Amino acid sequence: MLTGKKILLGIGGGIAAYKTADLIRRLKERGADVRVVMSLGAQAFITPLTIQALSGHPVSSDLLDPAAEAGMGHIELARWADAMIIAPATANLMARINAGMADELITTTCLATSAPIILCPAMNQQMYQNAATQDNLANLQRRGFTVWGPASGSQACGEIGPGRMLEPLDIALMLEQFFAPKLLNGHKLLLTAGPTREAIDPVRYISNHSSGKMGFALAKAAAEMGAEVTLVAGPVNLATPNGVKRIDVESAEQMLEAVMSQVDNHNIFIGCAAVADYRIASASDQKIKKSAEQMQLALVRNPDILATVAQHKPRLFTLGFAAETQDVEQYARGKLEKKQLDMIAANDVSIQGLGFNADDNALMVFDKESSQHLPATDKLTLARQLLTLIAQRITAQ
């Protein structure tokens, strides 16, 4: 996602400067070309030699560098960057940037660049919450600066609170999202993910092997592509993607209720959840004790969430998933027609290493006129490919 992107990293003078070594590695492994400008204070926490070795470029710190072209490194760096990240953005550094000071290379470059500037604050929690710092942050955001973080937790000073710099991996992932093509900009996507649980009694339930990984990958990718995303999630142990609104549910009936409460506010629906087809006719209020050798449970059909949304007026662009173990195309096309879907993504969950609980997947995507094979890859890449197909289809309508 960052291949060919020119990222200028400005390192401020705070203890979190040690994290920038890992941040450079995370950015470079995603394809970015990283150059670094260090404040004078930053060099007290991490050496320019370390940063140079990791970035592969000389580190800049002198405002008027005799070795730079025309001796004006701040202009060269400012013109070169596709984006500038200040990490850690200390209270002092943000105050100087806010004041428009050009007292060293890092602040001067902020004034000289037309590239977007991203601030990753890091400081003592009391310093962060100080009114002066908050005023500086608010003013910088009004001017168009982007602020990521800070996180909250234990700090080097021994205190606990907001002021920790975001972890390098989180910053790298957010930068991927920042640069992702906004093919779904202006669209509102409603998405279901994970399994449902249908109670037998207070301690037992009927469910399936869905991990929710594909649905959460779709939510993350859709947010990257500019969509406003609402994720209705069954019981899974996955973190909510950045910028995604999440609603947690347990049963199929709860999922249907959550979906229908949101459906009028969206124009795209993806039914990725593995919804249980049946539920117990009458779940027990108390734990059922082991007694007879055999037990019979009466089951009734659950509501069909996908079909319900497909019939809703005004109509949403509706994509369903079909997880099959045989005759994948036949069953998928039948589901596409029967439920009156716009598109369906089918996968063979009998293939080892793909589908349920796996990190990879492969899909056959069908609409009424065509089909397309998306070969096996990681689920986030696959999600981006599938959403690109949806964006193309919507644009063509």
What's the pLDDT at 144? 87
Q: Enumerate the active-site residues.
A: 157
Residues linked to residue 230 through DSSP beta bridges, in sequence order: 190, 245
Which token pair is 127? 């310093």
What's the pLDDT at 73? 55
Q: Are 322 and 346 in contact (CB under 8 A)?
A: yes
Q: Is 67's pLDDT higher than 70?
A: no
Select from 369, 368, 372 the least CA-distant residue to 388.
Answer: 372
Q: Are 328 and 303 in contact (CB under 8 A)?
A: no
Q: Is 159's pLDDT higher than 90?
A: no
Q: How confident is the model at residue 22 (pLDDT cuts 50, 70, 90)?
A: very high
What's the pLDDT at 93? 96
What's the pLDDT at 72? 52
Q: Is 373's pLDDT higher than 70?
A: yes
Q: How confident is the model at residue 152 (pLDDT cuts 50, 70, 90)?
A: confident
What's the pLDDT at 191? 97
Q: How confident is the model at residue 355 (pLDDT cuts 50, 70, 90)?
A: low
Q: What is the pLDDT of residues 275-300, one digit of tens each?
A: 999 999 999 999 988 888 888 889 99
What's the pLDDT at 98? 96
CA–CA separation, 341 and 257 (whole Å):
20
Select from 207, 11, 13 the least CA-distant residue to 91.
Answer: 13
- Please give the average per-residue pLDDT across 94-100, as a whole number: 96
Q: How confident is the model at residue 301 (pLDDT cuts 50, 70, 90)?
A: very high
In the predicted model, what is the mean pLDDT of the chain?
91
Q: What is the pLDDT of residues 187-231, one digit of tens each?
A: 999 999 999 999 999 999 999 989 999 999 999 999 989 999 999
Cis? peptide before 48, omega within 30° of 0:
no
- Please give the average per-residue pLDDT across 237-243, as a whole number: 88
Residues linked to residue 121 through DSSP beta bridges, in sequence order: 89
Relative to beta strand 83-89, strand 6-11 is: parallel
What's the pLDDT at 28? 95
Select from 146, 80, 67 the least CA-distant residue to 113.
Answer: 80
What's the pLDDT at 286? 92
DSSP string, 192-254: EESB--EEEETTEEE-----SHHHHHHHHHHHHTT-EEEEEE-S---PPPTTEEEEE--SHHH
As a whole number of angstroms, the longest Cα–Cα distance in the chain is 90
The distance in angstroms from the start CA to the end CA of the chain is: 28
- Please give the average per-residue pLDDT across 136-151, as a whole number: 90
Sheet holding 33-38, edge to edge: 33-38, 6-11, 83-89, 117-121, 146-147
Question: HSE of 6 in the Cβ direction (CA atoms, 13 Å)?
Answer: 10
Cis? peptide before 241, omega within 30° of 0:
no
